[in-house]
Amino acid sequence: MKVWIEILTPKQALFFEPLYHALRRNGHEALITTRVYREAEQTLELKKLRFSVVGRHGGGTAFGKLIASAERITKLANLIQKWKPSVAVSFSSVEASRVAFGLGIPQVAANDSPHSWMVARLTIPLTTFLCCPWIIGRSVWKEFGGPMRKVILYRALDPAAWLKRHHPKGEVLRQLDLKRDRPIVVFRTEEAFASYLMGKASDKEPVVAPIIDELLRRRLDCQVVVSTRYGMQAPVIKKRFGERVTVVDRIIDATSLLSHSSAFVGSGGTMTVEAALLGIPSISCFPGPKPLYIQYLERLGLVETIRSPREISTRVHRILTDPEAFESQSRRGKQLLINMEDPVAKILSTVERAGKQRTR
């Protein structure tokens, strides 16, 4: 069986890497496609995965996204028509969904982000099988025209797919010149170009910037690390804070960095979930509608949503000065990860099932 896997973001590269290897072990061929997008390409290279670059990222405007998507659909259609896969797999890629549907290729989509409603409206109705965390459930997809009888639930949050296989390494500390014996506070900037954040975020003024200002003002004994996106946020952060913070402007082993951290503040989604499941006290300052997985982790006391820079700074100070609370959260987060099932096994069986349903 030939399987086409579309990977557009670093999260998707981490999520689909074990699926790629599982497919190969089972004797299937696999083709990975991506687009011109620094973070996605670097993550695929870090994981030593072969891939084909087709088209580009559309940027932060609706018009730019539309034109880039239209161009990608044409290029992908030509490539996929020649390769002739039995099944397509994506994280609800708009272009992969349209091409697979147009060529009669069954498609399996993973999606934990119904809050990204524009993407959902364009992809869910074209999906053969939809795989998602059990906390999201089936009914939420109904308004998007989803295949209710073909929604496959797994009892895990998406990062479990790679966290269950990850072994922390200390090399990332040397790469960033961080000291192991001093607390590390990691910040993650928002996905400013995401369709669901248009008008709510800007790569020129990251949401975390005033929070970092407040934290540095307190002169806490900690190392501040800022993980940026797109290549445009890093210069903004560097200019504003200079050598007082460590700016990550390339792809690194971020999971290992989180494993060595004392606290995490995120204006995105994936790293917030990662940190929580690794047992790291986590604060979300996500600027858009609160994702369902963040709501779930809040109910378990593993993530706090705070948007006031002063309140976040105060909370980080408490985290750094309360080792007993840190140990308690560490145990609860890690136990939750242990209790989750492996999403890869369920998606693999779904892909193999879908591959038998090629329509033409």
Domain ranges within the chain, ordered by starting residue: 2-163+341-357, 171-339
Please provide the average confidence, as pLDDT, over all residues in the chain.
93
Residue-wise pLDDT tens digits, 224-244 = 999 998 668 899 999 999 999
- Which residues are CB-neighbours of 314 under 8 A, at least 6 positions away? none
- Domain 171-339 part of CATH 3.40.50.2000: yes
In the sheet where 87-90 sits, what is the strand order? 52-56, 29-36, 2-6, 87-90, 107-110, 129-133, 151-154
Predicted confidence at residue 196, as pLDDT, reads 46
| Count of CB atoms situated within 10 Å of the CB of 307 | 14
HSE at residue 294, side-chain half, CA atoms within 13 A, is 24
2-163+341-357 sits in which CATH class? alpha beta
Quick check: do 2-163+341-357 and 171-339 share a fold?
yes
Report yes or no: 260 and 184 within 8 Å, Cβ to Cβ.
yes
Predicted confidence at residue 181, as pLDDT, reads 94
The one-character DSSP state at 243 is: G
| Count of CB atoms situated within 10 Å of the CB of 264 | 28
233-237 contacts: CB < 8 A, separation 24 or more? 233/189, 233/192, 233/203, 233/206, 236/203, 236/204, 236/205, 236/206, 236/209, 237/189, 237/206, 237/209, 237/212
SS3 226: strand
pTM for this one? Answer: 0.92
Residue-wise pLDDT tens digits, 52-107 = 999 998 887 889 999 999 999 999 999 999 999 999 999 999 999 999 999 999 99
Report which of 27, 36, 33 is spatially closest to residue 12, judged by C-alpha positions. Answer: 33
Report which of 318, 326, 327 is spatially closest to residue 218, judged by C-alpha positions. Answer: 318
Residues recorded for the chain: 360
Predicted confidence at residue 358, as pLDDT, reads 63
Report yes or no: 92 and 9 within 8 Å, Cβ to Cβ.
no
311-136-15 Cα angle (round to 5): 85
Residue-wise pLDDT tens digits, 155-178 = 999 999 999 999 999 999 999 999
Alpha carbon distance 306, 49 (integer Å):
37
Alpha carbon distance 265, 309 (integer Å):
11
Q: Are strands 303-305 and 29-36 parallel, antiparallel or unpaired?
A: unpaired
The segments of the chain whose pLDDT lies below 50 read 196-198, 201, 359-360
